[in-house]
Chain A
Amino acid sequence: MNDVARLRLLRSAATSAPVDDLSAALVAAGRGDERAFGALYDLTVRTVFGIVRRVVRDPAMAEEITQEVYVELWKLAPRYDADKGSASGWIATIAHRRAVDRVRSEQSRRDREVADGRRAVPDFDIVSETVGDDLERERVRHALGLLSETQREAVTLAYYGGHTYREVAALLDVAEGTVKTRIRDGMIKMRDQLGVTP
């Protein structure tokens, strides 16, 4: 196992020291350190590419967006404020946001759904199909397993499907308010289960 792989595993197993590495890499990158940015890339690219590809589905488009995400991260790095949240959370947020903005701004949504054959409700196993980050995957799998089926469906359609809650409501043919409630209740349970203190 190379150092990068070991770091990744460490990062998923423990939440303290390696995260600091990432945070430190981001701060150094913010001062124009390209090597530090390369290290940041190595630590995070699987998560970034994974979530982007999950949303847009097309691997070539996912790589293009992933590249845009990193260029954006490079530009924004001088403004990263470690006090405002974890570096990994910040990076995942930027990646997911960019992916959903792309699918919403383009016709690609239609193409994507045609490619899927039919309306795709991501099932629970969505998380187990992938290579994934073993430990993180297990934690998330477990946490998702504690949600009611309707909560899980709403959360995964929104996040992995890249849908707005209104779209989720239309897909499931339930009221928008119901979907909002399912999303909120599901996310609260996930947050409590994953031991995240706000």
Chain B
Amino acid sequence: MTTDLHHLAAAYALDALDGAERRAFEAHYPSCEICAADVDGYRAVTGSLAAAVAEEPSADLRSRVMNEVAVTRQLSPLSARSSGNDAAFMDRRRRVVASLAAVAAVIAFLVVGNAFLASGSGTDFDDILAAPDAVVTALDGETGSIRVVWSAERDQVAVFANGLADPGAGLLYELWFLLDEGVSPAGLFQPDSDGVVRTVLDVDDLSGTGWGVTIEPEGGSDQPTSAVVYVGVL
């Protein structure tokens, strides 16, 4: 577990983080005043670095661009995300497709795995999955995988995970709802000895942009106190 997310602002501005770290930092910095200011400052530097290598493209590029623009619809100005996270935003379409695949995978899993879901929480799982508004998000991280199925109608999420590492003595995983500004705690979960998680959490009625997971001391935290270990965009 690292706590040096704050030190990644320069590398982030240079696009020098790999995918997982970039997503983790993007989940972190909008809610961190210091990092947000650092990113702004460094982006002005990278803007200068870019301008310093300015170069003329071929003359016909302009008409190619303008022709495509003429037949391209613009996005709605009402964005779930801030305009700064455009690249992440453009990823969302791909993720929606991935999410649909994930729904199928989770349903297939449920059919097969229903036997060991039967104890107690099985019904909740089924209900959340069956909710017409269920949204499945696959979270990326170091080891194993986490899927979060969210029903805004029910104000509940189901957390599925396999192969999750033991967070360590006195620690557990905390799920965060990523908001336009900052994060909101969404509950705690713990893998069993096989690294399996099947937990239903009650969540606040919020409109978020994704999910993040950190490792926190027992009892949980109000704000993340460590680096994001899993993250997924809605």
Contact = CB atoms under 8 A, between A and B. Distances in A.
Contacts of B75: 75-76, 78-79
B37 interface: yes
Contacts, number: 213
Contacts of A30: 74, 77
Contact of A132 (B40, B52, B77): B52
B7 A89 contact: no
Nearest to B76: A78
A180 B8 contact: yes
Interface string A150-183: 0000010011101111101000000000001001
Interface residues of B, number: 54
B120 to A, nearest CB: 43
B221 interface: no
A155 B41 contact: no
Nearest to B84: A84
**Interface class of chain B by DSSP:** helix
Given A66-B61, A81-B82, A132 B10 contact: no
Contact of B83 (A50, A81, A137): A81
Interface stretch (B42-50, B123-131, B191-199): B42-50
Contact of A187 (B40, B42, B83, B84): B42
A183 B52 contact: no
B66 interface: yes
Given A74-B72, A98-B87, A133 B52 contact: yes
Interface string A54-81: 1000000011001100111011111111
B27 to A, nearest CB: 17
Given A79-B75, A81-B82, A198-B37, A49 B16 contact: no
Given A41-B65, A97-B87, A92 B79 contact: no
B41 A131 contact: no
A50 B54 contact: yes
A69 to B, nearest CB: 9
Interface of B: 7-11, 13-18, 37-38, 40-58, 61-62, 64-66, 68-70, 72-77, 79, 82-84, 86-87, 89-90
Interface of A: 12, 30, 32, 34, 37-38, 41-42, 45-51, 53-54, 62-63, 66-67, 70-72, 74-81, 84-86, 88-90, 92-98, 100-101, 126-127, 130-133, 136-137, 139-141, 143, 155, 158-160, 162-166, 168, 180, 183-184, 186-188, 190-191, 194, 196-198
